[in-house]
């Protein structure tokens, strides 16, 4: 299993897990980053942080450190 920050731009995957039970993990789940949801990695900011994602039809940005908490199973093309 890989983490969300390890996907490449344009790559899609299925969220498998969101680690932690603190406020950050809760906020990630509120943004739609929940197990079973598809996510597309759109791009990385010029300096590497934040990451732009497409989840449930919405574009969101998350920090790389937060993306490391999200386990994904990449889709095969």
Query: Quick check: 77 pLDDT over 90?
Result: no
pTM: 0.86
Q: Which residue has the tokens 């994602």?
A: 53
Residue-level pLDDT at 76: 74
Residue-level pLDDT at 36: 94
- 37-47 core/surface letters (b: 16 or more CB in 10 A; e: else): eebbbbebeee
Question: Please, what are the domains in the chain?
Answer: 2-74 (2.30.30.90)
pLDDT in tens, 22-76: 899 999 999 999 999 999 999 999 988 899 999 999 999 999 999 999 999 998 7
Residue-level pLDDT at 57: 93
DSSP string, 10-56: T-EEEEEEE---SHHHHHHHHTT--TT-EEEEEEE-TTS-SEEEEET
Question: Residue 36 corresponds to which tokens in the numbers above?
Answer: 């079973």
Q: Which of 37, 41, 36 is closest to 61 using CA atoms?
A: 41
């Amino acid at each position: 299993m890989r983490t969300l920050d390890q996907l490449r731009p344009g790559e899609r995957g299925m969220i498998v897990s969101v680690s932690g039970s603190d406020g950050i993990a809760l906020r990630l789940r509120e943004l739609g980053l929940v197990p079973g949801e598809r996510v597309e990695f759109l791009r990385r900011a010029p300096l590497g942080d934040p990451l732009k994602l497409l989840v449930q039809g919405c574009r969101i940005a998350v920090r790389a450190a937060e993306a490391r908490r999200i386990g994904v199973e990449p889709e095969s093309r």
